[in-house]
C-alpha cells in the first residue's frame, strides 16, 4: 500500500510542475509526436545512468547522504536541472515528513536543513525510501516509474499526444525501464555518467523560452 501511495499522482511531491526538459526540446523542434517514444527512451537511459546511482547509494548508505548529495550537486552543472532537482527533492521530503509523521523522516529533514544540503531528488528519494523500509528494488523501480510517468504527463499537457496514446507509450517503454532499473542497481556513483548530453543542453534553454508551461 505504501508503494502505491508514493506512486499515486495525488502524493504532493511537486513533480508535475516539471517536464524534465521535454518542453524546451519540443519548442526547439527536437521532438515531435512521431519521435516522442524514442526521446523518452533516451531520457530513461539518461536517468538510469546519471541520476539513479545516487538513489541506490543514498538508500544503501543513508549515513553518507551529505557526501552523495554534494556529489550529485557537482554533477548537475546545468542550472535548470540542478534547480529542478533541488526543488523536487525538498518537496518530496516535506511531503513524506508530513504525510507519514515518522521520527526518522523528521531527523532527515533536520539534517538537510542544519547541514544546508542541496537536497537533490535522487539522494533524498533513496534516503526517504530507506527510512520508510521499502526494499531497494521497488525503490529503484518507483523512481524510474515516476520519471517516465512525469515525462508522459508533460507530453500530454503539451499536446504532443493524447492521454490514451501516452498510456500505451508508457506500457511499451516499461520493459526498458525494468531493465534499466536493474542496471542502475549495479552502477556506482563513480560510474554515473550522462548518456545524452544534447538533452542536458536542451533543458538548459528552458529559462529562455518565450512562454513556458513548466518550471523545467
Work out how many domains the chain is built from and give that number. 1
What is the span of the domain harbouring residue 131? 35-205
Gap between the Cα atoms of 20 and 194, Å rounded: 14
Is 197 within a domain? yes
Q: Is residue 144 part of a domain?
A: yes
In this structure, is residue 166 part of a structural domain?
Answer: yes
User: Residue 208 pLDDT > 90, yes or no?
Assistant: no
pLDDT at 104: 93
* Helix, strand, or coil (residue 57): helix
Query: Does 13 fall in a domain?
Result: no
The pLDDT assigned to 180 comes to: 94
pTM: 0.94
- In Å, how far from its chain's centre is CA 13? 11
Q: What is the pLDDT of residue 63?
A: 93
Domain presence at residue 94: yes
Which whole number is the average pLDDT over 58-63? Answer: 95
Asked whether 142 and 56 are in contact (CB, 8 A), the reply is no
Task: Give CA–CA dist 70/65, Å, rounded.
Answer: 8
In this prediction, residue 167 carries a pLDDT of: 96
How far apart CA 158 and CA 18 sit, in angstroms, is: 12
Q: Are the C-beta atoms of residues 22 and 147 closer than 8 Å to each other?
A: no
Amino acid at each position: 500500500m505504501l508503494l502505491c501511495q508514493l506512486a499515486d499522482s495525488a502524493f504532493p511531491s511537486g513533480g508535475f510542475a516539471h517536464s524534465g526538459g521535454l518542453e524546451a526540446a519540443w519548442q526547439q523542434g527536437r521532438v515531435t509526436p512521431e519521435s516522442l517514444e524514442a526521446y523518452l527512451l533516451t531520457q530513461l537511459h539518461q536517468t538510469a545512468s546519471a541520476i539513479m546511482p545516487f538513489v541506490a547509494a543514498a538508500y544503501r548508505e543513508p549515513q553518507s547522504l551529505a557526501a552523495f548529495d554534494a556529489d550529485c550537486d557537482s554533477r548537475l552543472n546545468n542550472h535548470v536541472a540542478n534547480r529542478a532537482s533541488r526543488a523536487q527533492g525538498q518537496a518530496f521530503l516535506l511531503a513524506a515528513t508530513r504525510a507519514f509523521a515518522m521520527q526518522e523522516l523528521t531527523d532527515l529533514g533536520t539534517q538537510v536543513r542544519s547541514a544546508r544540503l542541496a537536497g537533490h531528488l535522487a539522494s533524498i528519494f533513496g534516503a526517504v525510501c530507506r527510512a520508510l523500509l521499502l526494499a531497494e528494488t521497488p525503490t529503484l523501480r518507483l523512481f524510474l516509474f515516476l520519471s517516465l510517468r512525469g515525462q508522459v504527463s508533460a507530453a500530454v499537457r503539451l499536446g504532443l499526444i493524447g492521454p490514451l496514446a501516452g498510456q500505451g507509450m508508457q506500457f511499451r517503454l516499461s520493459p526498458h525501464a525494468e531493465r534499466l532499473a536493474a542496471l542502475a542497481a549495479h552502477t556506482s556513483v563513480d560510474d554515473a555518467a550522462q548518456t545524452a548530453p544534447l538533452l542536458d543542453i536542451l533543458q538548459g534553454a528552458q529559462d529562455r523560452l518565450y512562454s513556458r508551461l513548466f518550471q523545467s
